[in-house]
Structure 1
Amino acid sequence: MGEASYILGIKMYRDRSKRMLGLTQSSYIEKVLKRFKMEHSKQGLLPMRHGIKLSKKQSPKTDEELKRMSNILYASAVGSIQYAIQCTRPDVAYALTITRRYQACAGEAHWGAVKSIHKYLKRTKDMFLIYGGGELILEGYSDASFQSDDDDAKSQSGFVFKLNGGVVAWKSSK
C-alpha cells in the first residue's frame, strides 16, 4: 500500500532521516481561491489589516446592498477558511474569528475582510506546519484583548501550543 502522501486534502512531506514531518494544504487553498474567484487577485501581506474595525453597523441597510450581498457566498467562504484553520493554518484564526461573527448580516466591509484573508492565503499557500525530532520541548502562548468587539463589548482571546516548534493546538475565540 505504501506511505500516505495526502489525507483529507492535506499534503504530507516526510524526511525520516531528520525525523521531520511537514503538512500543507496548498492544493486545497488553490481550490478555495478558484471557487471564490480570487486566484488572480493580488497577494495579501497580512490576514487582516491593522486598525480594521468590523461591526454590525456595517451590515447592509438598503435593498440594493442586501441584494448585492445575497449573491455573495459569505458563509461558504468563511467555512472554507475554517477548514484550513482546523488543519494547518493557525495563522489566520484570529482574522476568521472576527469575520465569522457577521455571517447573518455580512456587508461589503465584512466581505472585504474575508477577501483579505483569501489574499493572504494566496501569498502563503505553500507554508507548512513542520514537526521535527529531537528533545521534546513544549511551548505555550496566549493573548487577550479587553472588549474588542464594538457590538457587544466582549473580549477576544487566543492560544497556541507548540511541540518541538510545530503547532499542535490553537484557538481564537470571543
Structure 2
Amino acid sequence: MRAPEGLKLPKGKSLRLLKSLYGLKQSGKLWNDEIHNYLLELGFIRSKLDPCLYFRRSDGKLTVLGLYVDDVVVSAQLRHRLDNEDARQQIKDMGEAKKCLGICIEQTDSGIYLQQTANIDQLLAKLGMENCRPVTTPMESTRALQATDSKPFFSTDVMRETIGSLLWLSTCTRPDITMAVNYLARFVSSPTTAHWTAVKRVLRYLQGSPFITTPSGTTTNAKASIFSDADWAGDKEAKSTSGGLLVLNDMPIAWYSKKQFTVALSTAEAEYIAGATAVQDCLWVKQLLDELDLSKNDNVILHIDNQSAIKNMENDVTTARMKHINIKFHFIRDAVHSKDVEVRYCPTTEMKADILTKPLGATLHGRNVAMLKLFA
C-alpha cells in the first residue's frame, strides 16, 4: 500500500493493512465471509447445494435469499420478517424486484415473467442493426457451417463479444436461440464471414421477437422433470448434440444445448448419453427443492423420445451395440434402479427439447416455442 500524502516511510518499510480495502483481490472473499456470518446470526442457513443461497423458516413461513456479491434478492412469504434487520449492515430495501443482472422482472397474479428486451435493443444498437429485417427462425434449417467457410471475419473481438452477449440472453431467458448460439460459439476462435452472417441472423430473429418472456410459476409443491433429446451425428465431425429442458411445475427454469464429446454409433446411444447428462442437472434441482422443503415428488421424471434408449436405461443387460459406452454414462442406470429417476417415453411431436438440438423450419420452430410456454 502506498503511504498517504505527507507521510514518508523509511527505506525498506511498508504499511500493513489492518482491514480490507475495496478493490483488493481478497476483498470479495472477506465481504462474503462477513455477509455469511451476518445472515447466520439472523437465523438463515446456507444451502449445501449453492453457497450463494440462504433460507430460513419462521412460523412456518419460508424466506429465501440469493446473493450476488453485495446484491441480495429476497423471496419471502412475509415481507415484514426482513424489516429492521439491517442494524449491523447498511441494507437498502429497493422494494419489489423489477430488475436483476439485466433481467427485467414482472410479477403478476398468474406468475413471474422474465425478459431482456432492453439488452436486446442495446445489442442491436451497438451493432447498427436497429432497423434490420426480422426473420422467423434464429438459424437456417440447412445447417452446414464449417471452420473454413468463406473469408476470415475482420474482428475476432467483435465476434467474441457478440456471442458472449447472445449466450447471456440464451442462458437467462431465451431457450429459443440456445441451440443456434451454442453452435456458433464453436467458431469464435477463427470466425469467417459466413459465421458472422449466421450470427446476424440470430440478431435479426431477436429483432422480430424481442418481447418473448420466460414465465416462472409457483414453487409450492414443486415437481421437477426434464426433457432430453439428441440430434444424432448432426455435426460435421459426426458428433451428436444433446439438448435438455428442465421444467418446474411445467414451466422452463433451465436449458442447455451441448455437443457430445464422443461419436455415438446410433440414435439410441446418442439419446442414452444425452439422458445421462440431463439427469445430473435435474437431480441437483430435486435435491435443492428437498432442502427447501418444496418438493412433492420422490423422484424426477426424465422424458425421452427413444424406446431403445429407455430400455438400456432400465436394464443392466450389456448388448454388443452398447458395451463400448463410457462407464460414466451408466450413472443413469443406478439412478433409475434406485428410483431417483423415472424414465417416460415422450412422442417426438411433444418433445420440448427438440428445439435445443437442431435448427428447425419456421412452422416447427414456432410450434416448439409455443410448447416452451414463452409468451410474447
TM over 0.5, shorter chain: yes
- Structure 2 counterpart of 1:5: 98
SS in structure 1 at match of 2:148? helix
1:12 Cα offset (Å): 0.5
Give the counterpart letter for 1:113 in structure 2: A
Q: Distance in 1 between matches of 2:205 and 2:199?
A: 10
Does the CA contact (< 8 Å) of 1:131 and 1:164 recur in 2? no
1:112 Cα offset (Å): 1.0
Give the counterpart letter for 1:6 in structure 2: K
Does the CA contact (< 8 Å) of 2:167 and 2:182 recur in 1? no
1:148 aligns with 2:239: no
1:44 Cα offset (Å): 1.5
Q: Distance in 2 between matches of 1:75 and 1:47?
A: 18
Q: Distance in 1 between matches of 2:257 and 2:172?
A: 14
SS in structure 1 at match of 2:235? coil
Q: Distance in 1 between matches of 2:221 and 2:136?
A: 34
- Structure 2 counterpart of 1:44: 135
Structure 1 or 2: more strand by fraction: 1
1:36 Cα offset (Å): 1.4
* Higher Cα Rg, which structure: 2
Alignment of 1:53-132 (within 5 A): 53-60=144-151, 66=152, 69-70=154-155, 73-132=158-217
TM-score scaled by structure 2?
Answer: 0.42
1:57 Cα offset (Å): 2.6
Q: How many residues align?
A: 165
In structure 2, the gaps of 5 or more residues are 1-92, 260-376
Using CA pairs below 8 Å that are at least 6 residues apart, which structure has the higher relative contact order?
1
Q: Distance in 2 between matches of 1:26 and 1:59?
A: 33
Q: CA RMSD of the aligned region, Å?
A: 1.9
In structure 1, the gaps of 5 or more residues are 61-65
SS in structure 2 at match of 1:125? coil
Identity %: 30
1:135 Cα offset (Å): 6.2
Residue among 19, 24, 31 paired with 2:115 = 24
Does the CA contact (< 8 Å) of 2:149 and 2:192 recur in 1? yes
